[in-house]
């Protein structure tokens, strides 16, 4: 049985760990509240932009526009993954990477055809040992994430790659925020746009003067791409903090259980030590009587 001092040191060390996990849970909760508010504030705009794209797709002849040209799945495929910069958030990133691997296996896509666009340090770390071509790689820390910052720069890079034919399609892998306890890794095809959608509401758009129609469509489509990337980042941020908050809560709960078990062991060891001391005293008294 371990000594009393050894058990006492372990209890003290684990209590200190518990203080850290509780503090991290509080920090994650504060960040989660802020990130969730930002996501909910931007969500109506992102959803409205999606409806605009569907409406345009159903009401205009856009087969000549690059974002609607279907190059097929025979060319290079762009894969955009939104991970995190930091760990300690449970299986948040692992579930996303697992979905990525499963999709590649199901579609039997060769690694040399993949062009990776990575957001988050954990994604870059995970793909270091693979042979995918890294088309874009950036962390979040210290950067403006908005449509004029990281989201805008990445959208511009993807748009250029797609119109130049460097990639024939783009898929977005990200964690969709469902609830505080549930974040769902999802795959979404972003480019090319579908040329017809029966679910779209009918209703045309008038462009005046007509010769500016192409410029306006370019602006709308590129703004949509920026808004889609930015909303995926906001969703990922909210989900990350929710996962971390739950992970730290579970860690704190496990700390308390471990402390309880060690406390029981400490009391047993202390009782055994006291019993031995009593036996020594009794034996000493008996020897003196003899």
The reply to whether 153 and 270 lie within a common domain is no
The reply to whether 60 and 139 lie within a common domain is yes
pLDDT of residue 79: 92
| Across 28-50, average pLDDT | 91
The reply to whether 195 and 97 lie within a common domain is yes
The reply to whether 252 and 128 lie within a common domain is no
| Across 59-73, average pLDDT | 61
pLDDT of residue 277: 74
The reply to whether 65 and 137 lie within a common domain is yes
User: What's the structural domain count of the chain?
Assistant: 2
| Across 181-185, average pLDDT | 87
**Averaged pLDDT of the chain:** 83
The reply to whether 47 and 139 lie within a common domain is yes
pLDDT above 70 for 158: yes
pLDDT of residue 245: 92
pLDDT of residue 29: 92
pLDDT above 90 for 270: no
pLDDT above 60 for 282: yes
Are the beta carbons of 29 and 245 closer than 8 angstroms? Answer: yes
pLDDT band at 62, cuts 50/70/90?
A: low
The reply to whether 262 and 172 lie within a common domain is no
The reply to whether 201 and 253 lie within a common domain is no
pLDDT tens by residue, 127-143: 887 778 888 998 888 77
The reply to whether 241 and 253 lie within a common domain is no
The position carrying tokens 């709308």 is 220
The reply to whether 92 and 201 lie within a common domain is yes
And the tokens for 191?
A: 């480019």
The reply to whether 197 and 264 lie within a common domain is no
The reply to whether 38 and 68 lie within a common domain is yes
pTM given for the model: 0.82
What range defines the domain where residue 13 resides? 4-18+248-289
């Amino acid at each position: 049985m371990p000594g009393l001092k050894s058990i006492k040191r372990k209890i003290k060390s684990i209590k200190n760990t518990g203080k850290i996990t509780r503090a991290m849970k509080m920090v994650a909760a504060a960040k989660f509240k802020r990130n969730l508010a930002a996501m909910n504030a931007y969500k109506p705009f992102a959803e409205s932009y999606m409806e605009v794209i569907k409406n345009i797709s159903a009401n205009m002849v856009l087969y000549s526009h690059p974002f609607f040209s279907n190059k097929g799945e025979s060319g290079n495929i762009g894969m955009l993954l939104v991970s995190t910069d930091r760990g300690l958030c449970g299986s948040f990133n692992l579930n996303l990477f697992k979905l990525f691997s499963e999709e590649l296996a199901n579609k039997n896509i060769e690694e040399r055809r993949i062009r990776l666009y990575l957001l988050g340090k954990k994604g870059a770390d995970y793909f270091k040992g693979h042979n995918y071509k890294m088309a874009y790689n950036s962390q979040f820390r210290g950067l403006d994430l908005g449509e004029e910052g990281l989201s805008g720069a990445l959208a511009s890079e993807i748009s250029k790659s797609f119109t130049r034919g460097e990639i024939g399609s783009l898929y977005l892998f990200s964690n969709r925020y469902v609830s505080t306890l549930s974040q769902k890794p999802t795959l979404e095809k972003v480019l090319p746009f579908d040329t017809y959608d029966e679910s779209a509401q009918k209703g045309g758009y008038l462009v005046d003067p007509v010769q500016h129609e192409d410029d306006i469509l370019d602006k709308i489509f590129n703004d949509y791409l920026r808004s889609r990337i930015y909303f995926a980042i906001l969703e990922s941020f909210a989900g990350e903090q929710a996962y971390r908050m739950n992970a730290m809560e579970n860690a704190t709960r496990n700390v308390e259980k471990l402390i309880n078990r060690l406390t029981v062991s400490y009391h047993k060891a202390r009782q055994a030590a006291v019993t031995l001391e009593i036996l020594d005293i009794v034996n000493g008294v008996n020897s003196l009587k003899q």
